[in-house]
Amino acid sequence: MDSTPAVQTLDLTRLYGEMVAVHQLNLTVNRADLFGFIGSNGAGKTTTLRILATFLAPSAGTARVLGHDVVKDADAVRHVIGYMPDFFGVYKDMEVTEYLDFFGACYRIPARQREKTVGDVLELVGLTEKRGAIIGALSRGMQQRLGLARVLIHDPQVLLLDEPASGLDPRARIEMMAILQELQRLGKTILISSHILSELQTLCNRVAIIEKGKLIYSGPVQGVRDQMARGRVVWVKVSSDAQAACELLKARPEVAEVTTVDGSLKVTLADHDTDHSIVADVLVHGGARLLELREDELGLEEVFLRVTRGETQ
Ligand SMILES: Nc1ncnc2c1ncn2[C@@H]1O[C@H](COP(=O)(O)OP(=O)(O)O)[C@@H](O)[C@H]1O
Ligand SMILES: [Mg+2]
């Protein structure tokens, strides 16, 4: 089987004026992944998805979907993706079938075939019984499922879903998640964003977490827990012997790991509640000369806690 990733970005960067919304993002989504893209509000999720969907140009870096460059081969990308934006206009006065038929026509599906296709996607999202309903009369959960049906109409291989579960009640959310699992079983690759880690952790096989446009984690869901359990990172610079400082820190139970990176000591604390002033105390009392001490700039633990609780900034 072709092993080209479903989605791959290389140093993908997007600025709005001076503001860096997405910063050198390297993301790989493999085929048949149900991939969670997590970050609090303003992290850069929508910007990234809009670039992948060819609606927004990158400022720098590249992005490919099934090997097609989103800038150079935008048409090819549009054929293989189904993009569900965070807010989409629903045509409230239209009937469900009419609406889907309209989008089928946009994708130039012949009229004869459209009826079957519309029936198929309605069945997939569990809306067969609502086929004649007026869209405005559907519940929010049903409208979201209809939005999903719409992006399935041309049978795309890769689905880009921007917070499809946001604003849904728990039951509607569970229904949505069940449909996504079914789509994964059918061989689709799904990239789904959310600002709530717990919403996706049982659903997805892999997740990426971004904050302020930067990737801070990418890998299996379990790895998030491991990384969280590992505690905060504090960076230290000393003007005295770095090896001696390293030994001082390693001797302490509050410190899980010390490594040297570019002349700085990367100190991983054993757990989240440890006050980082312990690092300064140990060094100063041990006779080391401290030049600089700072917590990891992204505040990893804060980000994790925020996305775990679903808090926004
Ligand atoms: N059209 C725009 N013009 C200016 N700034 C924008 C625009 N769209 C998004 N931003 C800013 O870019 C950052 C990332 O936004 P966004 O991609 O929407 O994040 P998310 O979807 O994770 O909430 C935010 O700081 C947001 O305010
Ligand atoms: Mg968004």
189, 159 Cβ separation under 8 angstroms: yes
Residue 129's contacts (CB-CB under 8 Å, 6 or more residues apart) are none
**CA of 39, closest atom in ligand 1:** 22
Q: Give the Å distance between the CA of 290 and the centre of ligand 2.
A: 41
Q: Which ligand is nearest to the CA of 85?
A: 2
Range of the domain at 167: 7-226
**CA of 46, closest atom in ligand 1:** 21
The residue written with tokens 């149900």 in the block is 34
In a shared domain, residues 244 and 185: no
Domain boundary among 167, 191, 226: 226
In a shared domain, residues 156 and 258: no
Spatial distance between the Cα atoms of 289 and 307, rounded to a whole number of angstroms:
37
Res 192: pLDDT: 97
Q: Is residue 42 part of a domain?
A: yes
Q: Give the Å distance between the CA of 269 and the centre of ligand 1.
A: 33
In a shared domain, residues 16 and 152: yes
**CA of 49, closest atom in ligand 1:** 17
In a shared domain, residues 109 and 242: no
In a shared domain, residues 237 and 220: no
Res 221: pLDDT: 82
Domain boundary among 174, 203, 226: 226
Question: What is each CA distance from 87 to 46, 59, 143, 216, in whole angstroms?
Answer: 11, 24, 11, 26
In a shared domain, residues 26 and 104: yes
CATH number of the structural domain spanning residue 288: 3.30.70.100
Domain boundary among 172, 193, 226: 226
- Positions of the chain with pLDDT under 50: none
Q: Give the Å distance between the CA of 35 and the centre of ligand 1.
A: 21
pLDDT tens digits along 42-84 = 999 999 999 999 999 999 999 999 999 999 999 999 999 999 9
In a shared domain, residues 155 and 240: no
Q: Which ligand is nearest to the CA of 163?
A: 2
Q: Is residue 40 part of a domain?
A: yes
Res 302: pLDDT: 64
pLDDT tens digits along 111-153 = 999 999 999 999 999 999 999 999 999 999 999 999 999 999 9
In a shared domain, residues 132 and 195: yes
In a shared domain, residues 222 and 238: no
In a shared domain, residues 176 and 118: yes
Radius of gyration of the chain (CA): 23
CATH number of the structural domain spanning residue 65: 3.40.50.300
Q: Name the pTM for this structure.
A: 0.81
Q: Give the Å distance between the CA of 41 and the centre of ligand 1.
A: 9
Q: Which ligand is nearest to the CA of 212?
A: 1
Q: How many domains does the chain have?
A: 2
In a shared domain, residues 77 and 137: yes
- Is 138 strand, coil or helix? coil
In a shared domain, residues 280 and 219: no
Nearest CA to ligand 1 atom 27: 42
List phi, psi (to 5°) of 293.
Answer: -145, 125
Question: What is each CA distance from 45 to 251, 293, 312, in whole angstroms?
Answer: 41, 31, 13
Task: Give residues (CB < 6 A) around ligand 1.
Answer: 16, 19, 21, 39, 41-47
Nearest CA to ligand 1 atom 5: 16
